[in-house]
Amino acid sequence: MASQHLDGIRVLDLSRVLAGPLCAMMLGDLGASVIKVERPETGDDTRGWGPPFSEHGQSAYFLSANRNKLSLAASFTDPADRALILELIAECDVVVENFLPGALRRYGIDADALLAQHPRLIWCTISGFGPESLRPGYDFVVQAESGWMAITGEPDGDPMKMGVAMVDVTTGKDAAIGILAALSARDRAGARTLPSGERRVHVSLATSALAALVNVAQNGLVSGSDARRWGNAHANLVPYQLFRAADRPFVIAVGTDAQWLAATRALGLDALANDATLAANAGRLAQRERVVAAISAHVVTDAAASWIARLESVGVPCGVVRGVQDAVQDALNDANFSVTDAARYGLPPLWNGSARHEPPHCGEHTVTVREKRWLSFGNFT
């Protein structure tokens, strides 16, 4: 059964690019009705971020974050369009936007005033560097400034960004969590009106990125030393990294001392298994080079599948390094969601969510929304 937990919740998506649209899409996956407001003709910036483009002319980037939405083409500078947007806000539960401070207010769309005017409205702003900063928020810049790049890449190489815009993704998820918390608080309040401050959700790329440093940041706070790059190794665990088998690379992720003993026995490395100085992780961490060298020299003698079979048989976490196409194809073995569906809708929704509608073309539902407002979702299945 596809998730419809947010059935009846109306979301106005005024955001562009990735973090905001991803947040709104997640709410749509959970059953909310989402109207995406876009610039006439050009639409969301990501509509032009290609190739690749789908057979219907949609950029792959746009497809990844915009299913389960209707698209309304409207201009903030047009009085009639602005009046329509304010009407939609008056009737919705949640607004998601990522404009710079003051930008919407210049067009007569004032979050504080609207929250005061509409006592059940929840307003989520996603920014780059906080509610007072006029700096535009770009994932790459935040990865650089938050410490992510300093800890990513080979130890003797350049700082490296992640292969996915994970700051945007993390922030979008944080925004969705904040909105769900506000909706829950609003429902618990019942007839009592929540103060506007409790209905104002603000997340930023910078704070989401810092929070996502989790154990790496805590290591620095506890030790007093700055974090460094470990490549495909782990700062706190050994062995927990990539190794090269005879045919392809694979990873071993030993997280407990029991897994260490099981791994060394399964790999046939009895000398390591019997060494009492390596029985605890702290000892392996102190002898990292010796442990890694011994495993590396041994596993290169056989195929990755052989080592993985042995390790999995004793419950040691491990896996081959696969390409994106292989990983995606494997995830789409679910009979309820095909490769064709993924090309149209994006990857399968989380939480057993529902891909009810493929990402819209710019302004595809403008006439319908203008005529029926939120009632346009009556046939949106």
Nearest alpha-carbon partner for 374 in 11, 94, 6? 11
Question: Do 71 and 365 form a contact (C-beta atoms < 8 A)?
Answer: yes
Is the predicted pLDDT of residue 180 greater than 70, yes or no?
yes
Residue percentage of the chain with pLDDT more than 70: 94
Is the predicted pLDDT of residue 300 greater than 70, yes or no?
yes
Range with the poorest average pLDDT among 2-16, 89-103, 131-145, 286-300: 2-16
Neighbouring C-beta atoms of residue 154, cutoff 10 Å: 12
In 171-295 the beta strands, taken as DSSP E runs, fall at 200-204, 240-244, 249-253
Q: What is the pLDDT of residues 188-212, one digit of tens each?
A: 998 888 999 999 999 999 999 999 9
Nearest alpha-carbon partner for 15 in 89, 97, 109, 138? 97
Q: Please compute the mean of the pLDDT values over residues 238-253 and round it to a whole number.
A: 98
119-122's contacts with Cβ under 8 Å and 24+ in sequence apart are: 119/193, 119/194, 120/93, 120/186, 120/193, 121/89, 121/92, 121/93, 121/94, 121/95, 121/199, 122/93, 122/94, 122/95, 122/179, 122/182, 122/183, 122/186, 122/199, 122/200, 122/201
Is 302 designated active site? no
193-200's contacts with Cβ under 8 Å and 24+ in sequence apart are: 193/119, 193/120, 194/119, 196/112, 196/115, 196/116, 199/115, 199/121, 199/122, 199/123, 200/111, 200/115, 200/122, 200/123, 200/125
Set 44, 81, 168, 174: catalytic member: 168
Is the predicted pLDDT of residue 381 greater than 60, yes or no?
no
Q: What is the pLDDT of residues 111-170, one digit of tens each?
A: 999 999 999 999 999 999 999 999 999 999 999 999 999 999 999 999 999 999 999 999
- DSSP-derived secondary structure letter, 375: G
pTM of the model: 0.92
Contacts of 11 (CB under 8 A, 6+ apart): 24, 27, 28, 32, 33, 34, 35, 92, 93, 94, 95, 96
- DSSP-derived secondary structure letter, 153: S
Structure tokens at 332: 């789409």
Task: Tell me: cis bond preceding 239? Omega within 30 of 0 counts.
Answer: yes
pLDDT of residue 1: 46
Please, which residues bridge with residue 241 across strands? Answer: 252
Give the span between the Cα atoms of 169 and 171, in whole angstroms: 5
Q: What is the pLDDT of residues 222-237, one digit of tens each?
A: 999 999 999 999 999 9
